[in-house]
Amino acid sequence: MGGASVIDKFLGTFTRYIDSGFGILSGEVAFIATTLIVIDVTLAALFWSWAADDDIMARLVKKTLFVGIFLAIVNQTTGVNTVMYYAPKVLEYAGMTTSASITAQVGNGVMSVIGAAAGLWLVSRFSRRSLLIFDVTAVGVILLAIAATFHHAIASHIADGTTPPPWAPYLVLVLMAVFMLVVQSTNGTVVWTMLGEMFPSHVRGVMNGTA
């Protein structure tokens, strides 16, 4: 628990130092300190859950935790949240009307459901590694295609205040739909399946929450 005491000392000194010079930021400081304390308590609970005679297993589990955190980062940085929540706004910029862009978002939802169903089949037929490599590659290509479409066919019209070509928003919509299909059938299914598989049962809940 020596590591935990060092973190506690750091939090106390850090909070006092900031508060003494920047009292106006006390709310933000309290939020940061609270967040760090939660992390500290979580890590302390992890170390407590590992018995003293399980050093080899503890080291293995700690390395597995880092892998789990990396998988969670990959899952959240694919851009899926942007497509899910900001697709109507993106389609408006591409040239669709507000009502049409909101209606078109239904297509992304349908592809998401289809992708999740396909993922249940894919995860039992192919290795997790192969699916993740395919996901990262395909997602990169699709996002580059969306960026290229905006750069070459839409951006200049936005700058001039004119209407983009009528095919541009539909191309963006198709690329978004394929994106959702790929992400939900590979990344979404594989990451959450692996996070449930990779940790020992006696620390699985805490490790999943940390990752």
Predicted pLDDT of residue 25? 46
Predicted pLDDT of residue 102? 87
Predicted pLDDT of residue 23? 46
Predicted pLDDT of residue 12? 63
Contact by Cβ (8 Å): 95, 169: yes
Per-residue pLDDT band for 24 (boundaries 50, 70, 90) equals very low
pLDDT tens digits, 28-45: 555 555 666 666 666 666
Max Cα distance, the chain (Å): 70
Contact by Cβ (8 Å): 40, 11: yes
pLDDT tens digits, 73-131: 777 777 787 788 888 888 888 888 888 888 888 888 899 899 889 988 888 888 888 88
Listed range (43-47, 52-56, 170-174, 206-210) with the worst mean pLDDT: 52-56
pLDDT at 203 over 70: no
Predicted pLDDT of residue 46? 60
**Residues with Cβ within 8 Å of residue 168, at least 6 apart in sequence:** 94, 95, 149, 153, 154
How far apart CA 37 and CA 58 sit, in angstroms, is 22
pLDDT tens digits, 139-196: 889 989 998 998 888 888 888 888 888 899 999 999 999 999 998 888 888 777 777 7
